Amino acid sequence: MSQALNAGTRLTIDLWHPNCWAIEATEQTGGGVLAHAIYDTPKMAPESVNGLFTAFGDTNEEVEQLLETIRASEHAGEILELQERFGRARDAPGNVVREFFLEYDPNDMVCPTLLRHGFVHSAPVRIEDGREEWQLCFTGERSEMETALDAVRADAGAEVSVVSITASDGPATRSEREQRLDTLTPTQREVFEEARAAGYYEWPRGCSTRELADRIGISKTTLLEHLRKAEAKLLDP
């Protein structure tokens, strides 16, 4: 057996597939969903599965609208919200997070297709803006990976693009800075990165608060609120 097969390959993919309630809901509303785990339902026939998910967003209103959109989906069953958060919820992006169980049709899942072609997911799936982000390990030869991705596209009717790819025997974990950046909402990250690029954090400052707000196209108050929340997450020990 070759070293490549033993080591495997880590990759992150951007994925869309049909009949997915999470993709549909996040395409229509703000916020996003983290998919943590899937469980068989206690039934004689495998007619449905239960999943554990986290809905996240900037505001209570945004998350509530997201959950209402999920409830209205023909591909989603009943939502059972959890009154107490699991520890993993603290790692979810967004200022507001709500965990829930959801029962749905296993035929709408793309995970079995990925597994069938050698892709094993290694982290919660993140769904935003109508797309899914999967962190995977490929168990086959590196040279076989593109053929396996083509098979996933064909079998699941999916759109798949590779975001990043590394050997598993390289750095196995992301840096602490990258992990902290992942806790920011898309808006917070956009504002923070724009501030850095504009020299807002340099001394002397490359631009004023007003200039930065005008550059992004938001009010000064909104800019400061996004920066304050982003900085709190990045600097929290």
Residue 179: C-alpha distances to residues 13, 24, 163 (Å): 17, 27, 17
Chain centre to alpha carbon of residue 62: 17
Q: What's the angle, vertex CA 56, arms to CA 92 and CA 119, rounded to 5?
A: 60
pLDDT, average across residues 131-150 = 91
Task: Choose between 99 and 174: higher pLDDT.
Answer: 99
pLDDT at 183: 75
Task: Choose between 189 and 26: higher pLDDT.
Answer: 26
Residue 101 phi/psi, 5-degree rounding, is -95, 145
Q: What's the angle, vertex CA 38, arms to CA 176 and CA 68, rounded to 5?
A: 90
Question: What is the percentage of the chain residues whose pLDDT exceeds 90?
Answer: 42
pLDDT at 22: 95
pLDDT at 46: 57
Domains and their CATH numbers in the chain: 3-13+111-167 (no CATH), 18-108 (3.30.1360), 176-235 (1.10.10)
> What are 32's strand-pairing partners?
56, 128
For helices 186-197 and 220-235, the axis angle rounded to 10 degrees is 100
Residue 89 clears pLDDT 60, i.e. is over it:
no
Residue 4 clears pLDDT 50, i.e. is over it:
no
The span from the CA of 163 to the CA of 123, in Å, is 15
Neighbours of 63 (CB within 10 A): 23
Split at pLDDT 50, 70, 90, the class of 62 is very high
Summarize pLDDT for 177-198 with one digit per residue, the tens. Answer: 776 777 777 788 889 999 989 9
pLDDT at 175: 64
